[in-house]
Amino acid sequence: MRRATPHGGGVLGAWSLAALILLPPLPAPSQSVEAPPARVSFADVQAAMERQARLGYNLLASTNSTRFETAVLLSLVRDAIAEDPEGPPLLLHHEDWYEAFRTTLGLEPGEVPEYIALAHQHGQDRVIEFNGAPRQIRVKKGETPDLVARVRVGWPDEPGAPDRYTFVDTTTSPQLRITNRRRIEYWLLDFGNMIVQDRISGVQARPLGGALGTLFSIVGDGSAVQNRLAVAEDGLVVTYATARKGPFKVQPLTVTYLDGRVETVFPEGRHDLLQLTYRIKLPLEIEYPKTES
């Protein structure tokens, strides 16, 4: 993996129901991190995005953004581990993310989807810690992940800087109202046949129509706390998300099509999707270390 030289150019997020909009990060590294984050090169970010673009799912839809985001991050982390398992955290600069996304899809600035444009506008960067992450967790129930990383997303806390932003994504079905706080954090776990974003903080989302809209009317704009997803051979994604608000909890199980459409009713005859559903709903309990924000 090439470490970056400054490049003008580069973001993310979405939640399930739909997914989990997790836009770019920048929070300072925790006290346990000795080395400062190393900026990933623009070329490496673009190469990881191009691999996803070749899979044929709609990268303009925010409902596909969780699949896209996690796949790109995991690809870059795997490359970094292969180069140096004890290496420093990775920094994905918002300029590199934005420009890599735009050039990969051949978009003019005015054609970039809102969830990407807003992340760039707010200067959200991503920091991914992987050195020692597997040794920090304890699996109390369920399988042990193949790869563990801690992801932090955000923009600097400067005078006059907003502490969050909210937008309604009208390109999705159903439409989503999404709020991103200045600091978003989660643990990223790769089980091979399932990806989990756990201990999520800083993201709120609510579907505004359909069966999911009715379900979320119970809790309003719920805070995402966990997101599990598994990809079928033909590219359909089964997602099992957990959102909370106060004492209430909702756990929608959905299927996302290549075009970004999200449904709660699965297509008939898809036994492979039922198997994925069984897989991602298995009990999973992991103990994480206490970390400094």
pLDDT tens track for 82-122: 999 999 999 999 999 999 999 999 999 999 998 899 999 99
What is the per-residue pLDDT for 165?
A: 84
Q: Which of 47, 121, 123 shows the shortest CA–CA distance to 91?
A: 123
What is the per-residue pLDDT for 7?
A: 39
**Is 35 a member of any domain?**
yes
Nearest-angstrom CA–CA distance, 34 and 21: 29
What b/e readout covers 34-65, taking b as 16+ CB neighbours within 10 angstroms? eeebbbbbbebbbbbbeebeeeebbbbbbbbb
pLDDT tens track for 203-238: 877 766 555 444 444 445 557 789 999 999 999 999
Rg value, the chain, Cα: 18
Lowest mean pLDDT among 3-7, 78-82, 117-121: 3-7
Q: What tokens appear for 55 in the block?
A: 């899979």
Nearest-angstrom CA–CA distance, 63 and 173: 9
**Is 53 a member of any domain?**
yes
Nearest-angstrom CA–CA distance, 232 and 225: 24
**Is 190 a member of any domain?**
yes
**Is 293 a member of any domain?**
no
Range(s) of the domain holding residue 72: 14-287
Q: What is the pTM of this model?
A: 0.83
* In contact, 229 and 264? CB cutoff 8 Å: no
Is residue 62 scored above 90 in pLDDT? no
Nearest-angstrom CA–CA distance, 290 and 293: 9
**Is 292 a member of any domain?**
no
**Is 3 a member of any domain?**
no
* Average pLDDT score over residue span 271-279: 96
**Is 174 a member of any domain?**
yes
**Is 2 a member of any domain?**
no
Nearest-angstrom CA–CA distance, 208 and 31: 40
Which positions ≥6 away from 103 have C-beta within 8 Å? 9, 46
Q: How many domains does the chain have?
A: 1
pLDDT tens track for 141-186: 999 999 999 999 999 888 888 888 888 777 666 677 788 898 999 9
Angle at 93 between CA 65 and CA 84, to 5 degrees: 95
